[in-house]
């Protein structure tokens, strides 16, 4: 039985819900959410939808509200429409009207009780750190270049693993959040070094405002031996927000995907569409001076 809705007649302007798998290169946007003074992904998408279905106001709802400069490989969005366009045709139709920095990977019909945000059971983010000595023009838009000293990825992973479970992460929440509380469940973490590239992935039921970027800056301090693992854990467990002063730059961060109880899109159209970088030769910076001063032991 097909899930495609039948064409809508003028006598029965019934609504149907469309789900989108969306990519965007975030550097030219003020974030996902529509802003009064800034170019947002939401506004661009809603403008393109309205051009194709002008019969009613358009509101696009996303699984996650990415900040200014943050990318998305598998953002999930829904909107309601009343026109005759089949669900599968929305992707090419929208891509013909969207800027080149926003692409719809797949469009599908969804039931009315499915919600891109509320139905999601996880969001997964990826952060790239380029830990090479020399700048690389091709990596710069997608990673944080930390060239001062070699990052101890083993220490970083140990610190990251302590986040697993349900906790209060108020230390990693920027001011201005509208959330009623700061608890969330971290479901999975991953950190892999491949030469001079470090890839960090964090999956959670939800993320606080600015959480990943604040967390990544603290994690880099651990990797540079400026912050001990115990101090890192103490900061977030005791909610010492005043001690978390730095945020990692947005360009290294990408919303990899949002997940649901049942598959919504094909794997090719949703799962992991951000390419992994491969460098032929490594050129790492020197070891941390903090490590040398401590005789090779953890500070």
The one catalytic residue in 53, 67, 152, 196 is 67
CB atoms under 10 Å from CB of 4, counted, come to 13
Give me the residues paired with residue 63 across strands.
none
Q: Which residues contact 273 (CB under 8 A, 6 or more apart)?
A: 23, 73, 74, 105
Catalytic: 67? yes
| Residue numbers annotated as active site | 67
């Amino acid at each position: 039985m097909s899930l495609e809705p039948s064409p809508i007649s003028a006598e029965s302007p019934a609504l149907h819900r469309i789900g989108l798998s969306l990519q965007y290169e975030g550097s030219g946007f003020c974030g996902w959410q529509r802003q009064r003074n800034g170019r947002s992904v939401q506004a661009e998408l809603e403008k393109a939808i309205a051009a194709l279905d002008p019969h009613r106001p358009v509101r696009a709802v996303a699984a996650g509200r990415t900040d200014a400069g943050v990318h998305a490989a598998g953002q999930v969005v829904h909107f309601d429409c009343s026109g005759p366009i089949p669900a599968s045709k929305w992707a090419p139709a929208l891509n013909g009207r969207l800027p080149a920095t926003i692409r719809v990977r797949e469009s599908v019909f969804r039931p009315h009780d499915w919600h891109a945000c509320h139905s999601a059971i996880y969001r997964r983010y990826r952060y790239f750190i380029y830990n090479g000595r020399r700048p690389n023009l091709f990596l710069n838009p997608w990673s944080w270049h930390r060239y001062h000293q070699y990052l101890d990825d083993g220490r970083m992973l140990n610190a990251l693993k302590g986040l697993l479970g349900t906790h209060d992460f108020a230390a990693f929440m920027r001011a201005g959040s509208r959330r009623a509380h700061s608890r969330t469940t971290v479901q999975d973490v991953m950190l892999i070094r491949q030469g001079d590239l470090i890839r960090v992935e964090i999956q959670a039921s939800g993320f606080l405002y600015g959480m990943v970027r604040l967390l990544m800056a603290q994690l880099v301090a651990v990797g540079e031996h400026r912050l001990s693992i115990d101090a890192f854990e103490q900061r977030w467990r005791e909610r010492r927000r005043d001690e978390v002063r730095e945020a990692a730059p947005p360009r290294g961060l990408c919303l990899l995907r949002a997940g649901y109880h049942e598959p919504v899109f094909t794997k090719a159209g949703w799962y992991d569409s951000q390419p992994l970088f491969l460098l032929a030769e490594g050129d790492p910076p020197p070891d941390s001076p903090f490590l040398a001063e401590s005789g090779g032991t953890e500070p």
